[in-house]
Amino acid sequence: MEPSRSRQRRQADSGGSRRWISEAVQTRRVGNISLLMPPPRPPASALGSCLDSLQQDWRRDGHLAGLWRDWPRIAGPQLAPHCRPLQLQGGLLTVGAAPGPWLQALQYNRHQLLGSLRAAGFAVRDVRVQQHHPAPTTPGGQSEAEVWAVHPSRCDVHGMADCPACGRPAPAGEMARWGHCSFCRRAELA
């Protein structure tokens, strides 16, 4: 019962020709029968090292996700909140800013931004600036942080109380808004 490894298969490459690819396939003999066994799994790696590897791949391959992560550091604390990278394709980065002084500041600092991008390890050959109107994050025009700061389900702000309808503990903000907890509110609306 000795495991052995050897197998080749043909695969078409992008030019349409065929080539032989060697695979590590394990077989095990049991009597007169040869069984195919799956290849051994690679050892598990820590989540932190997987994320580091992913971030390095993003930077090396020129993905916009890697640029988004580093944008506040690259653009600087004054410029970063008012502009954002929109597209990175073929070494050309498109950055959008709201019309007015921030668009003008971005155009004026375009060469410095390009230098910061290259110093951070991004393969950007040029920066294109365009006008960009960001959509509001919530229907009322409030940011997500502003909405969450006063949300009735926050027990760290409003405290906890028992629901008068079901007796379950729930945030006091829910009782102030609806007269009962969110579970009873959901049942009432259903």
pLDDT tens figures, 60-116: 666 777 788 888 888 888 888 888 899 888 889 999 988 888 888 888 888 999 999
> 55-131 in CATH: which number?
3.30.300.180
Domain-wise residue ranges, the chain: 3-12+19-37, 55-131, 144-189
Confidence grade of residue 138 (pLDDT, cut at 50, 70, 90): very low
Mean pLDDT of the chain: 78
**Residue 129 confidence (pLDDT):** 92
The whole-number pLDDT of residue 127 equals: 92
How far is 179 from 72, CA to CA, in rounded Å? 43
pLDDT the model gives residue 22: 47
Q: Kindly indicate the confidence band of residue 6, based on its pLDDT and cuts at 50, 70 and 90.
A: very low
Supply 14's token pair. 């992008």
15-19, 43-47, 169-173: the lowest-pLDDT one: 15-19
Mean pLDDT, residues 157-185 taken together: 88
pTM for the full model? Answer: 0.46
Of 22-31, 34-43, 103-112, 153-162, which one has max mean pLDDT? 103-112
Per-residue pLDDT at 62: 62
**Residue 104, CB-side half-sphere exposure with 13 Å CA sphere:** 2
Q: Kindly tell me if the per-residue pLDDT of 183 is higher than 70.
A: yes
The C-alpha atoms of residue 72 and residue 83 are separated, in whole angstroms, by 10
The structure tokens listed for 58 are: 């993003």
Distance of alpha carbon 25 from alpha carbon 14, whole angstroms:
25
Per-residue pLDDT, 7: 45
